[in-house]
Amino acid sequence: MSVIYKIQWNKKEDKVTQNDKRKEEVKVNSCGILLRGYAKSRSEVKDVADRLNLSAKRASEIGFRNIAILISEEKDCGSTLIATCMKLDGLGLKAPRMRVASIEGNDKDILNDGLRYLWSSFCEYAFIASNKAVGYLNTPNIEKILATFSDGALCSGLALRNTSVPQEEDQIYNGVLAGRISNILAAWDIKALEAVGGFDSEIGSEEIAPIIRLIKKYSKCIAPVIPTEDVGLNVSSLRAEHFASLSSTKTGRQFREASRAKGSFQLIEDGIILGYPE
C-alpha cells in the first residue's frame, strides 16, 4: 500500500516525527464492491436478480471497476445465479472485472470470500453494499467515504435511515453514528481487516469484532459518514419482516459481539477519528 507522510523534523532531537500521517487520496477505480443476495423460492428470483442488477449498474456508473456479486448457496433456491447473470449480460456494465458466484457457508464466509477475490484483483479497499441501500449508492456518498481513508480510516460507513421507525428508535442509524459501522453500506481497508482476522461472527453482527480489533491494533481508525441526502433504505417486501426483526435486535447482538471480542461500545466510540461523524 502506498502511503504518503507529512514529515516534520525536530532539530533538537535530530529525528523525524510523524505528527500528521495522511494517506494519499483514494480513487473509486482502485476499489472493489461486494454485493450479496439470495432468493428462498423461485417466485422471489426475479425481484432479487433485478435488485442485484440495479446495484451493480449503480456501482458501475459510479466508477467501480471490480464488482463481486455473491449468492448464498445455503439460503438460495438455486436459480438466482443464472437469472442474475442473464440480466447482467444485457446491461453492458463498464466494470472490466466482475465475479458472479454461488458461495457455500454463512454470511461471514461469503464476506471473506468476496474480500479475497477483491484483494486478488488488486483492490486495497472493499465496499460492501446491501441492495436496500441502492438509493444511497451514488458518487457524492462514495466520495465522502473515500475521503475518510485520507484521514486514516480503516473502516468507514454511511449512517443510513430506516424511515419505517422514528430516528431515535433507529438502532442501525444511531449505532453507525456511535462507530458501529454497518455493512449495509461500508468500506474497509482489506489488508488491515485481514490483519485482524477478517469477519468471524456467527450471529449476524459481523462488523463489530473486526472494528474492535482494528481499534486495539491501530487506535482511532473508524469513520462514520453522514449521507449527502437522507433518502431512506429501500427494503424489499420479500425481506421487510426479516429486516424489521433484525433491526429491532441489532443493538443487543452488537453488544454480545463486542463482549465476545473483549471490547465495548465505549471502546468503539473512542475509536472514532476526530471530526467524525461528518
Each residue's pLDDT tens digit, 50-96: 999 999 999 999 999 999 999 999 999 999 999 999 988 877 776 67
Q: In whole angstroms, what is the distance from residue 15 CA to residue 188 CA? A: 33
Mean pLDDT of the chain: 89
Which range of residues forms the domain containing residue 197? Answer: 138-278
Are 110 and 158 found together in one domain?
no
In a domain, residue 183? The reply is: yes
In a domain, residue 9? The reply is: no
Greater pLDDT, 201 or 17: 201
Q: What is the pTM of this model?
A: 0.89
Are 146 and 269 found together in one domain?
yes
Contact indicator for 144, 228 with CB cutoff of 8 Å: yes
In a domain, residue 18? The reply is: no
Find, among 210, 238, 197, the residue nearest to 49 by Cα.
Answer: 238
- In what order do the strands lie in the sheet containing 185-189? 97-103, 66-72, 31-37, 125-129, 185-189, 155-158, 222-225
pLDDT at 14: 32
Are 152 and 101 found together in one domain?
no
At residue 127, φ and ψ (nearest 5 deg) are: -90, 140
Are 230 and 164 found together in one domain?
yes
Contact indicator for 235, 134 with CB cutoff of 8 Å: no
